[in-house]
C-alpha cells in the first residue's frame, strides 16, 4: 500500500504527460490511500477544466465518479495536530502536510510529484520515477 496525493490521482483520470507514469505506479502497487482532502483538490482541478472549457459538466461528473470509485474505501482521516506539527517543521502548506501525515502515521511511502514535499520529507515522500524503479 502507498499514499498518493492528488497530483497522482488526477492523471489517472485526466490524460496528461504524467498519465503513463501513474499507470506504472498503479501496476507496481494498486493499493492506494489518501486523506479525504484529495476530493476537494480533485474537484478544484475539474473546476479549472470547466472554466477553461476543456471538459463539460457531464464529463466532469463522469470523471469525478470514476475517481471516487478508484479511491473508494481508501480515504483515511488524519490528526490535525500532526498536520500542524509537520507544517511548522517545513515550509509546506497544511494541504501538503495532510498527505505526509497520513504516510507517516501508516508507515508508508507518499508517492508525489510535489517538489516541496519531496524536498522537505525525503524519508517519507518518493517521486514516481524513483518508486517505479525501486
CATH of the domain at 129: 3.40.50.1010
By residue range, what is the domain housing residue 74? 2-133
Average pLDDT over every residue of 61-65: 98
Check whether 75 has a pLDDT greater than 90. Answer: yes
Cα diameter, the chain:
42
Average pLDDT over every residue of 86-103: 97
The residue among 12, 8, 37, 38 whose CA lies nearest residue 131 is 8
Check whether 91 has a pLDDT greater than 90. Answer: yes
Average pLDDT, the chain: 97
Average pLDDT over every residue of 89-114: 97
Through-space distance between the first and last CA atoms of the chain, rounded to whole angstroms: 14
Check whether 134 has a pLDDT greater than 90. Answer: no
4-34 confidence digits (pLDDT tens): 999 999 999 999 999 999 999 999 999 999 9
Tally of domains within the chain: 1
Amino acid at each position: 500500500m502507498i499514499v498518493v496525493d492528488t497530483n497522482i490521482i488526477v492523471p489517472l483520470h485526466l490524460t496528461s504527460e504524467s498519465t503513463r507514469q501513474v499507470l506504472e505506479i498503479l501496476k507496481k502497487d494498486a493499493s492506494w490511500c489518501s486523506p479525504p482532502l484529495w476530493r476537494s483538490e480533485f474537484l478544484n482541478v475539474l473546476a479549472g477544466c470547466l472554466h477553461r472549457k476543456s471538459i463539460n459538466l457531464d464529463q466532469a461528473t463522469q470523471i469525478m465518479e470514476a475517481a471516487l470509485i478508484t479511491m473508494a474505501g481508501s480515504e483515511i482521516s488524519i490528526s490535525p495536530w500532526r498536520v500542524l506539527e509537520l507544517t511548522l517543521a517545513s515550509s509546506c502548506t497544511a494541504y501538503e502536510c495532510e498527505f505526509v501525515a497520513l504516510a507517516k502515521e501508516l508507515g508508508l511511502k507518499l508517492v508525489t510529484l510535489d517538489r516541496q514535499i519531496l524536498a522537505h520529507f525525503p524519508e517519507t515522500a518518493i517521486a514516481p520515477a524513483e518508486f517505479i524503479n525501486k
